[in-house]
Structure 1
Amino acid sequence: MPSTATTEKPSNVSEALARGRLGVPSVVFFVLSAAAPLTVVAGVVTTGYGVIGVLGIPLAFLIVAALLALFSVGYVTMARRLANAGALYSYISRGLGRPAGVGAAWVALLAYNALQVGLYGTIGAAAEPVLDRLFGVGVQWWVVALSAWAVVAVLGLLRIDINGKVLAVLLLAEIAVVLVFDLAQLGNPAGGEVSFAAFAPENLFVPGLGAVLVLAILGFVGFEAAVVFSEESKDPRRTVKVATYLSIAIIAGLYALSSWSMTVAVGPDQISAQAGEQSVGLIFNLAAEHLGDTVVTVGQVLFLTSVVAAMISFHNTTARYAFALGRERVLPAAFGRTSPSSGAPRAASLAQSTLGLAVILLYAVNGWDPIVQLFFWCGTSGSFGVLLLIATTSVAVIAYFAHNGREESLWRRAVAPGVAAVALLGVFTLAVLNFADLLGVPADHTLRWGIPIAYLVAALLGVVWGLVLRSRRPGIYARIGLGAESVATVPPEMPGSLPAAPERAETRR
């Protein structure tokens, strides 16, 4: 016999995030920190030029930004109705049904955890030139990783607005140095002439276009996180919308400018060879040539803090996903508890810190490569998972508005989400086809299909767990995707039913 829902009402204090603490700037700082501008400019852009060899990367960033802005039309419209720290998981639950939502939740946990722990692999490499230049010492990567882990673990238990202030300082300095580097490169063009060849369509629509578009869209990973902080925003309806569009615009402008300025400084005909030879060092070598060693040192320090800022942002994002699942009892209830003093998701944050510590120690003890096998593989895999979630969410938005919100304009509920869905599913297909190239492994490597299959398995297990909850725990099943509303009591005489939303009743799944 399936169990009925309990009439016990959970504590609103323990199961609610601290409200009203984040404005638009703070949410933007979290989003941009996850995007890690300096890390993308120094690493992802140079990888694109050096490995893929396509000149039109700046134009690719602008095209992808337009696509994500189109996706955001339906995304932020749905966000006005559903303020939920579970974000993509909750939207898929409300659009495609609760079992699909639980499957998305499993994918989200896998993806965001991969992004978070992967960053510990690069922190040592980011710190190496800084420690050598400033102190003349070298330190094992895992020592630096453990130091960064401790900082992130402590901040994860503090008030969310404190995290936002830390990110604000780090991010503003990071963006400032990127702009200084860009201006120096534009002011010293190769051959004495500023070239706009990188924006020419014929330099993008060439063999390798698919890999470049996937690379570009992975550079935006984190933009979707504005919704994760909706419950803690001062004005969720306005904050999420403004922060999402503003983040996309800033990221697109910064990436397009930086990737273009590199081609100007090196020369369009030389950028592929130089990026392949110098890799991450290209941007710093150009800065040393045009600005001097002091500015390079500042840039290297900010490259280090860029990684730390991304760690803080992804830690908070991942912890809130786990919190949302715990609050709705999809995960153990302990994950749905918050700290009475800070309002932070304490158990979820500690679990995230524990996982990070375990991964660092595992790699250190076994002597595994922290750059390729931790940062690069986990980072690419995590971004692939987020791309899958975004593409699925675009479909869920259409399905949701097909049953709810007919008062929304056709553009918001169908046209923009529909075009975005087709485009995003196309990019995801390209990602699957080019996954070996994205990982930098042979076509017959285990990870080439192992990682996509891992996400498929996670999604299927989540769907199965959702169906188990529907059969055996209908009260819990009824709460899936409700967010803060899930603390309301489900009437025992109507197991599995949902109370109508304040604005309207929606089709039940």
Structure 2
Amino acid sequence: MAQTTGGSAPSGGTRLQRRSLGVGHLVFMIVAASAPLTAVAGGQATTYLVTGNKAVPFMFIPLGIVLGIFSIGYAAMSRHVANAGAFYAYVSRGLGKVGGVGAAFVALIAYNAMQIGIYGLLGVALGSFMSGRLGIDAPWWVWVLLAWAVIAVLGVLQIDLNARVLAVLLTLEVLAVALFDLAVLAKPGPEGLTTIGFNPLVAFGAAAGATLTFSVASFMGFESAAIYSEECRNPRKTVARATLIGVSFIALFYALSSWMVGVAAGPDTMVDPKAMLKAGYATAGAPDPTTVLFIAGQERLGVAWGDAASLLFVTSIFAANLSFHNAVARYIFALGREGVLPRLFGRVHPRTGSPWIASISQSLLAVVVFGIFAILGLNPLLTLFTWLTNLGALGVLLLMSVTSFAVASYFRRNPEAELSRWTTTIAPNVAGVLLVALLVLGVANFNVLITSSTTAPLSPLTVILPVILFGGGLAGLLVGVFLRSRHPDVYAGIGEGAGPMEPEDEEAVPQEQVSG
């Protein structure tokens, strides 16, 4: 076999860089998108205070089981479909091409919302670090522009370079959180090493729906392995292994780490604003649960850890942003290659094999959207980040629900003797039902998500944002119907991607033959 540099890249064609990614690369992509340090210090700590639930850690157990069941059918489907538009392709193969276009439009809205919304948090976090540690002050959007420029450049380079960047950042942030966990385990907070965090009666006794909805957002990105299936070595096995490893790691790591955050301050403190203020976990005179990990960690591990953790908090958000950018670019590319979007978006760079036009278009959309928020003077955390990322999380839940039933439908029409009924029928349908239940909880608690309060009055956005999401899916269905009647040639290619897997794609490329 001829040696390759970073996998084979097409010459300005419509095939992505081949055989570039292994299981390890994909696991880094998956976990980086969930932003471990950000999820633990930010999302999970905030969930305690907003919901008043002392058993946040327990919720990662049932969620991990649900998403693990989803992964069984999802991974089995990856043996048959290698397409950069994963959900879109799976739904097209399982529920029909019209449904696939509907799923594609939901995916575009959801992943763009996640990617662009994260810029709001990134701008504030980077600005806070630069001001507090280096004494450099600038508006949040200045820092966003700098990060945006780096992501825009990385987005048009080889995907294995992106994977290496994410691997370094992810390893460091996981190490920082792991050190925090061990330090708190050795020196618990004022209430001792309490196990109330894993009490199911407590977990389902206080705002359980809101707690589940908040917690599921920590898993966002775990489903992204299939998006890179065209760029994998041995995609029939790589996607399945990476997905199962990713969801297992996320569930266990977050259950442990959210428990240690609660133990560090004490579960009673974590759910009580007055107690949090008294303990010193505050910002500008207001209770701030996001300070618990950094304050408690620095008390136990020293100033050097505190400085490193603060920087890694920023790089954690950056890594998630880069990961979602790559996901969006591949969806746009897949739709352009098949003619659902203008075919210009379906071209790859002749040297790097990246979907460069799709990547640049996503970068342009992002700068326009966060630019509007900046011009209007809106709070980047309470608006840009909160509105868009929660819209994106709701969209991914919708996509996973539909995809589960699509997988079951596909294997019903294309039975495979070597796969069990559990894998092809029972697990996908069970996952579909459970994910629909989570989706309903998400919609029912959407006001809590966007206001970060269980007592806030109903916001108009509670209706507007879900309508945008579901309306986008309906628009996609109408486009699918239009293509079926007016452009049968385009319709016939929906969900087909680059075509059947080639023999060379089914064999792993020895690591020593892949460089760059």
Common fold, TM-score beyond 0.5?
Answer: yes
CA contact (8 A) 2:11 2:350 kept: no
Say if 1:397 and 1:12 are closer, same or farther in 2 by CA, change over 3 A: farther
Worse-matched range after superposition: 215-224 or 125-134:
125-134
1:244 aligns with 243
Structure 1 vs Structure 2: percent identity of aligned residues? 43
Separation in 2, partners of 1:20, 1:222: 21
CA contact (8 A) 1:57 1:198 kept: yes
Separation in 2, partners of 1:115, 1:72: 21
2:260 aligns with 261
1:485 aligns with 499
Separation in 2, partners of 1:365, 1:297: 32
Separation in 2, partners of 1:366, 1:438: 23
Are 2:484 and 1:470 equivalent residues in the alignment? yes
CA contact (8 A) 1:22 1:233 kept: yes
RMSD: 1.8
Separation in 1, partners of 2:43, 2:191: 27
1:48 aligns with 47
1:8 aligns with none
Shift of 1:487: 12
Are 2:275 and 1:287 equivalent residues in the alignment? no
Say if 1:137 and 1:202 are closer, same or farther in 2 by CA, change over 3 A: same
1:100 aligns with 99
Worse-matched range after superposition: 227-236 or 394-403:
394-403
- Residue type of the partner of 1:293? V
1:352 aligns with 362
2:140 aligns with 141
Give 5+ residue unaligned stretches, structure 1.
1-10, 489-501, 503-509
- Residue type of the partner of 1:424? L
Separation in 1, partners of 2:270, 2:415: 49
1:179 aligns with 178
Matching residue within 444, 449, 452 for 1:433: 444
Separation in 2, partners of 1:477, 1:336: 16
CA contact (8 A) 1:388 1:428 kept: yes
What does the per-residue CA deviation read over 1:49-95, in whole Å, with 9 as the maximum and x for residues that have no partner?
01001111111012101110101111110110101111011111111
CA contact (8 A) 1:129 1:300 kept: no
Are 2:345 and 1:335 equivalent residues in the alignment? yes
Structure 2 residue matching 1:450: 3-state secondary structure: helix
1:234 aligns with 233
1:418 aligns with 429
1:364-379 mapped onto 2 (5 Å cutoff) = 364-379=374-389
1:265-276 mapped onto 2 (5 Å cutoff) = 265-273=264-272, 274=276
1:390 aligns with 400
Structure 1 residue matching 2:70: 3-state secondary structure: helix
Separation in 2, partners of 1:129, 1:228: 33
Say if 1:136 and 1:12 are closer, same or farther in 2 by CA, change over 3 A: closer
CA contact (8 A) 1:328 1:486 kept: no
What does the per-residue CA deviation read over 1:373-429, in whole Å, with 9 as the maximum and x for residues that have no partner?
101111111111111101111111111111112423110111111211111111111
Shift of 1:36: 0.5
Shift of 1:356: 1.3
Worse-matched range after superposition: 280-289 or 160-169:
280-289
What does the per-residue CA deviation read over 1:318-339, in whole Å, with 9 as the maximum and x for residues that have no partner?
0000000001100000110000
Separation in 1, partners of 2:338, 2:216: 31
Shift of 1:182: 1.3
Separation in 2, partners of 1:295, 1:190: 18
Structure 2 residue matching 1:80: 3-state secondary structure: coil
Separation in 1, partners of 2:175, 2:124: 22
CA contact (8 A) 1:146 1:360 kept: no
1:89 aligns with 88
Say if 1:479 and 1:443 are closer, same or farther in 2 by CA, change over 3 A: farther
Separation in 2, partners of 1:364, 1:277: 26
What count of residue pairs does the alignment treat as equivalent?
A: 479
Are 2:461 and 1:447 equivalent residues in the alignment? yes
Separation in 2, partners of 1:161, 1:473: 36
Separation in 1, partners of 2:458, 2:390: 18
Separation in 2, partners of 1:222, 1:191: 35
Are 2:128 and 1:118 equivalent residues in the alignment? no
Separation in 1, partners of 2:11, 2:443: 42
Structure 2 residue matching 1:239: 3-state secondary structure: helix
Separation in 2, partners of 1:469, 1:325: 13
Give 5+ residue unaligned stretches, structure 2.
1-9, 507-516
What does the per-residue CA deviation read over 1:356-384, in whole Å, with 9 as the maximum and x for residues that have no partner?
11123222222111111101111111111
Structure 1 residue matching 2:72: 3-state secondary structure: helix
Worse-matched range after superposition: 297-306 or 202-211:
202-211
Separation in 1, partners of 2:390, 2:438: 15
CA contact (8 A) 1:133 1:297 kept: no
2:130 aligns with 131
Structure 2 residue matching 1:118: 3-state secondary structure: helix
- Residue type of the partner of 1:440? T
Are 2:288 and 1:278 equivalent residues in the alignment? yes
Structure 2 residue matching 1:81: 3-state secondary structure: coil
Separation in 1, partners of 2:261, 2:161: 35
- Residue type of the partner of 1:437? V
Separation in 2, partners of 1:148, 1:359: 15
- Residue type of the partner of 2:439? F
Q: TM-score, with normalisation over the residues of structure 2?
A: 0.90
Separation in 2, partners of 1:365, 1:61: 39
What does the per-residue CA deviation read over 1:471-490, in whole Å, with 9 as the maximum and x for residues that have no partner?
011011000011111999xx
- Residue type of the partner of 2:489? G
